[in-house]
């Protein structure tokens, strides 16, 4: 099967498996796993942050960050398409007891003016606005990349109003490879960042949360409370160390593959409203000779898996396990539809 459903379907490469079985490990709840400590130090250094925390999933990293940044009853400003709002099981309410102020942005990206307008006044009727969450790349926005100037403007609004600024950087490496930006600019601008290792980086699991020493100390306590303190996590952290060495620059291939498939799709009358293809995600409408359901079926018959993400939309995600041959075959199959 050629699996385009998500970049989470990757299998560890032989090199990654080798890194796992030869990993030095210890008990990470005691802070004694050398591979986890090394991964945390490398990631902190890479993004220019003081400290890092290895977490089982991106959802847990985000939820821990939100919990540490807020008090129950506070309000979190984010896009109405944000993963933290629509895909984390209501976790903001469940874990932090905070509420969300979802903003209709452009493909999941919000502006500094929108953030400023969403900040509640100091009034007992109103929830206290304490945190802004951005997502880069934006998953539901078709892997789009924030305009850096806008991010800096949002950061300035947050500083002015003493709000924390968190980045859901599940696919931040995709944005960095596509733009050639310095990762340390992100570390400087955001108070905290969560970065997934289980997406484009090709690891079986894991995410790293980045922040100040004080923040990470608090985050470590929350991770324990959520049951996310793992023992010999180094076997998994080793996959992250391997990916940092081997899987960052190759993301450009995934982006090129996505554009190749988009070019063929765009010649088809049943495809419309394709979101601009900036990284490794394609989102488009299917109508006319196919519905999203019959399109999924037609590709499945050819051994190609894609996913319908709404009654009108299909999503295709390229990743480490998609080879040039698979892309060529997919383009052929689509061209023949
Ligand atoms: C995948 C993803 C996450 C976290 O997902 P996990 O499966 O919990 O690791 C967070 N944010 C975005 C935007 C994502 O795409």
DSSP string, 194-209: EEESSSTT--SS-EEE
Which atom of ligand 1 is closest in space to residue 82's alpha carbon? 13
User: How far is it, in rounded angstroms, from Cα 56 to Cα 62?
Assistant: 11
Secondary structure element (H or E) that encloses residue 74, with its range: none
Q: What per-residue confidence (pLDDT) applies to 238?
A: 98
User: How far is it, in rounded angstroms, from Cα 130 to Cα 151?
Assistant: 17
Q: What per-residue confidence (pLDDT) applies to 126?
A: 98
CA of 226 from ligand 1 middle (Å) equals: 17
Secondary structure of residue 319 in the 3-state scheme: coil
Q: What per-residue confidence (pLDDT) applies to 137?
A: 98
Residue ranges and CATH numbers for the domains of the chain are 12-246 (3.40.640.10), 250-336 (3.90.1150.10)
Q: Are 113 and 141 in contact (CB under 8 A)?
A: no
Q: What per-residue confidence (pLDDT) applies to 56?
A: 98
User: How far is it, in rounded angstroms, from Cα 68 to Cα 62?
Assistant: 10
Beta strands in the chain (DSSP E): 2-3, 51-55, 75-79, 99-103, 129-135, 164-169, 192-196, 207-211, 271-272, 281-286, 304-305, 307-308, 313-317
What are the tokens at 298? Answer: 């037609």
Q: What per-residue confidence (pLDDT) applies to 204?
A: 98
Counting residues of the chain whose pLDDT is more than 90, the rounded percentage is 100
Q: What per-residue confidence (pLDDT) applies to 314?
A: 98
What are the tokens at 247? Answer: 């899987």
Pocket test for ligand 1, best of 10, 78, 83, 173 (most atoms within 8 A of CB): 83
Q: What per-residue confidence (pLDDT) applies to 333?
A: 98
Q: What per-residue confidence (pLDDT) applies to 120?
A: 98
CA of 204 from ligand 1 middle (Å) equals: 13
CA of 102 from ligand 1 middle (Å) equals: 18
Q: What per-residue confidence (pLDDT) applies to 214?
A: 98
Within 6 A (CB) of ligand 1 lie 57-59, 62, 83, 135, 139, 168, 170, 196, 198-199, 207
Residue appearing with tokens 């970049």: 7
Residues of the chain with pLDDT under 50: none
Measured in residues, the chain has a length of: 337
Task: Tell me the whole-structure pTM to 2 decimals.
Answer: 0.97
Q: What per-residue confidence (pLDDT) applies to 125?
A: 98
CA of 243 from ligand 1 middle (Å) equals: 17
What single-letter DSSP state applies at residue 120?
P
Protein residue closest via CA to atom 6 of ligand 1: 58
Sign of CA dihedral 11, 83, 287, 145: negative
Q: What pairs with residue 100 in β-bridges?
A: 76
CA of 136 from ligand 1 middle (Å) equals: 11
Q: What per-residue confidence (pLDDT) applies to 325?
A: 98
Sign of CA dihedral 248, 249, 255, 261: negative
Please list, in sequence order, all residues whose beta carbon lies within 8 angstroms of the beta carbon of residue 166, skipping any fewer than 6 positions away: 62, 65, 66, 69, 131, 132, 133, 134, 190, 191, 192, 193, 194
Pocket test for ligand 1, best of 63, 173, 195, 196 (most atoms within 8 A of CB): 196
Secondary structure of residue 291 in the 3-state scheme: coil
Angle at which helix 213-225 crosses helix 58-69, to 10 degrees, equals 120
Q: What per-residue confidence (pLDDT) applies to 195?
A: 98
Q: What per-residue confidence (pLDDT) applies to 75?
A: 98
CA of 59 from ligand 1 middle (Å) equals: 6
């Amino acid at each position: 099967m050629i699996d385009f459903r998500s970049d989470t379907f990757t299998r560890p490469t032989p090199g990654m498996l080798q890194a796992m079985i030869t990993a030095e490990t210890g008990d990470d709840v005691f802070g004694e796993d050398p591979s986890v400590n090394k991964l945390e130090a490398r990631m902190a250094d890479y993004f220019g942050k003081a400290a890092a925390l290895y977490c089982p999933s991106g959802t847990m990293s985000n939820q821990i960050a939100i919990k540490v940044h807020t008090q129950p009853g506070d309000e979190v400003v984010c896009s109405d398409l944000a993963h933290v709002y629509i895909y984390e099981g209501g976790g903001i309410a469940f874990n932090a007891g905070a509420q969300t102020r979802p903003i209709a942005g452009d493909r999941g990206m919000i502006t500094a003016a929108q953030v400023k307008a969403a900040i509640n006044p100091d009034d007992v009727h109103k929830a206290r606005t304490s945190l802004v969450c951005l997502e880069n790349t934006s998953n539901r926005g078709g892997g789009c990349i924030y305009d850096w100037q806008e991010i800096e403007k949002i950061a300035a609004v947050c500083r002015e109003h003493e709000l924390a600024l968190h980045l859901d950087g599940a696919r931040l490496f995709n944005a960095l490879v596509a733009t050639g930006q310095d990762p340390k600019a992100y570390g400087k601008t955001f108070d905290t960042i969560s970065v997934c290792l289980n997406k484009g980086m090709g690891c079986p699991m894991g995410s790293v949360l980045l922040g100040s020493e004080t923040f990470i100390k608090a985050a470590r306590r929350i991770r324990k409370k959520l049951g996310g303190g793992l023992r010999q996590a180094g076997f998994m952290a080793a996959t992250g160390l391997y990916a940092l060495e081997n899987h960052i620059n190759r993301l450009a291939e995934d982006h090129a593959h996505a554009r190749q498939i988009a070019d063929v799709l765009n010649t088809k009358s049943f495809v419309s409203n394709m979101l601009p293809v900036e990284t490794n995600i394609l989102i488009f409408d299917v109508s006319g000779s196919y519905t999203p359901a019959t399109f999924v079926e037609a590709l499945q018959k050819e051994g190609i898996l894609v996913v319908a993400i709404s009654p009108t939309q299909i999503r295709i995600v390229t990743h480490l396990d998609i080879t040039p041959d698979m892309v060529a075959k997919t383009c052929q199959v689509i061209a023949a539809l």
